[in-house]
Structure 1
Amino acid sequence: MQTSFLILLCFGCLTGVTTVLFGFGGGFITVPVVYGVLTATARPGADAMHVAVATSAAVMVVNAAAAAFTQWRQGRLHRAYVWPLAAYITLGAAAGSFAATFLAGTALRLLFAAYLLVTIADSLLRKGFLSVAQQTPPEPLGRRTTTLGGMGIGLVAAALGVGGSVMTVPLLRRRGLPMAEATALANPLSIPVAVAGTLVYAATPTAPAGQLGYVDLTAAAALLLGSLPTIAATRRTTGRVPDRVHSAAYVGLLLAVLTVMLGMGS
């Protein structure tokens, strides 16, 4: 148990870095890590993938809020790209979280991997992500993108516990925003997904000891102990990474997570 806590603590530190630099909020790191720890320890009655997604959502509430506050103080958040998009993301997130409770753990893991694969392919094959001609001012979000797109982002992100940054970052990137601003905006847009997901998963009845519904409280505590100090320490690096390097690193991290998830299923 102590070893598992230390592993989660270390990966929590990595989560803090990815939250600030990539707007992940933790989902792409915490889901594979919590899933791996639970399957390795073979905890009786544990539904590893559902617990991993739920715990990721709970951790994301805190991480995304902390990072969003930091980015707001640095003047990187633009209200026009946050609201009303966040409201429609919230609607989709409530539905996505509820739907995920009916999916089998294996199906949820495969959907998580498929989501990563599609996102990576889109980023590499379609123009406008790895390099972008920055527009002044950037292109605003259309009504259809805000409403239907927002609900779609919330639906998928909450079901998989990933916060939606992998949809919001490419979306904002293709509107002409530099990588530093697109990833900064991903944090406040992840908060409604994380809150909706946490409320639904925490309300699940008959939870084992140490869990609030599907949320593993010990794992969440370990991850947050690592991530929150790291978010504070990493905040000054935002904007110093060259745009091209920043976007390439974003795709590279997704490839690494996809490899880990596929390896766990073999």
Structure 2
Amino acid sequence: MMDLLDPATLLPLIAVLALAGALIGFLAGVFGIGGGAISVPVFYEVFQALGHAPEVAMPVAVGTSLAVIIPTSILSSLGHFKRGTVDMDLLRLWALPVLVGVLLGSAIARFAQPQVFQLAFVVVAAVNATKLLSGGSGWRLRDSLPSRGALRLYGSGVGLVSALMGIGGGAVSNLILTLHNVPIHRAVSTSAGVGVLIAIPGTLGYMAAGWGQPDLPPDAIGFVSLATFALTIPTSFLTTRFGVALAHHLSRKHLERAFGLFLLAVSLRFLWAIVTA
């Protein structure tokens, strides 16, 4: 493993995690997502560079990502709530189904191979990238939200997929809501609230799932790295409010395309890891 006391190793590591934190916070505000699309691939590469096998690096990247999402999703949802665009009725309806999905995903994490996490990331990220890069034209299932029963199923699915991907659920819930004709700003704002429902139980679940597992980072509690969390949070705090402001004042066209390209790149990276495993 790398020597973390070596400045040549430590300083670049701190810089990468600080930059990742800034991007996580910004994306949390702009897109109503927790930033896991940024943090999971970055954390995965960091843990591999530190000498951890993929079987450890992937679940620790996912668990730590969920921990980082807790404060960023809270800040983001509060910012959108103050603007009156959060659908609180939907969040209340989704609270229990999302929790069930998150707990199931956390349980799977204890036994799953890294390819399971990577495949979940590839599928969801690729679908979102396609939607973003195509402009979303024609992406509509119906003109209104479905029944409460169907919404509960959606909630469970959002929780499960998000727990496996290490994301706050915004990318998934945003896609679901816009496919049902929910206005984009309302979808983004509500998705920020979904991140709170997912990140807290998800983090606790990954701590429990990884408890006692061998070869974890020395600072980790289960599948959550405390040092990585501490190095990422400060810059994410600084940038979240700028993302919220941008989401409500600027055109999203170029930002959506840039994010779509990033998701596509991440999908290809994890797809390559699956194929060459």
TM-score w.r.t. the length of structure 1 is 0.86
Q: Which runs of 5+ in 2 are unaligned?
A: 1-9
Greater mean deviation of Cα atoms: 28-37 or 222-231: 222-231
Say yes or no: does 1:254 pair with 2:263. yes
Between the aligned partners of 1:9 and 1:121, the Cα distance in structure 2 is: 29
Contact 2:169 2:198 in 1 (8 A): yes
Say yes or no: does 1:73 pair with 2:82. yes
Partner of 1:197: 202
Say yes or no: does 1:166 pair with 2:179. no
Partner of 2:3: none
Contact 2:26 2:241 in 1 (8 A): no
Between the aligned partners of 1:240 and 1:83, the Cα distance in structure 2 is: 28
Give the paired residue count. Answer: 261
Partner of 1:129: 136
**How far apart are residue 248 of structure 1 and its match?**
4.0
When the two chains are superposed, the root-mean-square deviation of aligned CA atoms in Å is 2.7
Partner of 1:101: 110
**How far apart are residue 118 of structure 1 and its match?**
3.8
**How far apart are residue 243 of structure 1 and its match?**
5.2
Question: Structure 1 residues 231, 122: closer, same or farther in 2, change over 3 A?
Answer: closer
Between the aligned partners of 1:139 and 1:106, the Cα distance in structure 2 is: 36
Contact 1:131 1:244 in 2 (8 A): no
2:101 partner amino acid: G
Q: Deviations over 1:201-252 (max 9, x none)?
A: 1123235421111101111111111111111233321222325555544433
2:198 partner amino acid: V
Q: Deviations over 1:57-105 (max 9, x none)?
A: 1011111111101111121212233221232111111111111221012
Secondary structure, aligned partner of 1:155: helix
Between the aligned partners of 1:157 and 1:52, the Cα distance in structure 2 is: 13
Contact 2:55 2:114 in 1 (8 A): no
Between the aligned partners of 1:149 and 1:208, the Cα distance in structure 2 is: 35
Q: Which runs of 5+ in 1 are unaligned?
A: none
1:42 partner amino acid: G
2:181 partner amino acid: G
